[in-house]
Amino acid sequence: MATGGGCFIGASLSCADLLVYLYTRVLRVSPATLADPGRDYLFLSKGHDVPALYGTLAELGYIPRERLAQHLRTTDSIYWHPNRAVPGVEFHSGSLGHLLSVAIGVALDIRLRGGANRVWVILGDGELDEGSVWEACLVASALRLDNLAAIVDRNEFQANVRTEELVPLEPIPAKFEAFGWSCRTADGHSFADLEAALGPLSEAPYVAGKPSVVVARTVRGKGLPSIEARADRWFANFTAEEIAGLLEELHGGESRALTSEGLVVR
């Protein structure tokens, strides 16, 4: 998906481990239960990371793997941001800052129906600049939605700039706690760390009556040393030759020299 038009590969690789862990160890959902109101819900609020979600859904049988080849073609809905025409995608996103509010509505509905299922939201750290995120945090706390859990993909980049150089975000955990949430931190690329932080949330909140959040420390472009933590490789449209080399790099090969132009938006 990072060729023939490209995708947000750097940002997607920072949350790939989070998605794999959630879908294989935590979420009570499967291809057979996508219409079951008792399923767990996952909302990818940082919607430009959808290649990681598409890849996870393809690996786990929600969609045919061959469908990924339709990326950006007008004959399919596999494109730069999530679309509900793709099985497993719960809601459209891409305009940052609104999916936590959607998740609140679903979590409230579940509680009113007496359901035991849980609602998860993956937020970008740069997305925390949006005031709508913090408004939603206040509402979730006021409603005591402890069936709601958020994960912040803390890769420390916002587009082409480090977050702390643009609009400083720290201390993130203290801010969530001040807004009435219970917070923990984790290494977003360590399944053992994710097990300790996210595992308990599959059954219960950290604190009864409070929504929960995990700030997951991640690396943009994780797994590809040639693009890791690079400001100009949040989005990439690689050549076919570069893709072949990067796939080898992903599986332990040497870092590759890249000739395609990086994307800088300011």
Q: Could you report the per-residue pLDDT of 27-47, keeping only the tens digit for each?
A: 999 999 999 999 999 999 999
Q: What is the pLDDT of residue 223?
A: 93
Whether residue 171 has pLDDT greater than 70? yes
Which residues are paired to 219 by β-bridges? none
Task: Answer yes or no: is 4 within a domain.
Answer: no
Compute φ and ψ for 62, nearest 5 degrees: -75, -35
Whether residue 58 has pLDDT greater than 70? yes
Task: Answer yes or no: is 255 within a domain.
Answer: no
Chain Cα centroid distance, residue 101 = 16
Task: Answer yes or no: is 183 within a domain.
Answer: yes
Task: Answer yes or no: is 151 within a domain.
Answer: yes
Task: Give the chain's domain count.
Answer: 1
Task: Answer yes or no: is 248 within a domain.
Answer: no
Quickly state the pLDDT bin for 256 (edges 50, 70, 90): confident
The mean pLDDT value of the chain amounts to 94
Cα distance between residue 11 and residue 265, in whole Å:
15
Whether residue 24 has pLDDT greater than 80? yes
Q: What is the pLDDT of residue 266?
A: 60
More confident residue, 181 or 261: 181
pLDDT in tens, 82-123: 988 899 999 998 778 999 999 999 999 999 999 999 999 999
Full residue range of the structural domain in which residue 196 is found: 9-217
Q: Regarding beta strands 119-124 and 148-154, do their DSSP bridges make them parallel or antiparallel, or are they unpaired?
A: parallel
CATH of the domain at 195: 3.40.50.970
Task: Answer yes or no: is 244 within a domain.
Answer: no
Contact 123, 47 (CB under 8 A): no
Task: Answer yes or no: is 222 within a domain.
Answer: no
Q: What is the pLDDT of residue 254?
A: 86
Task: Answer yes or no: is 137 within a domain.
Answer: yes
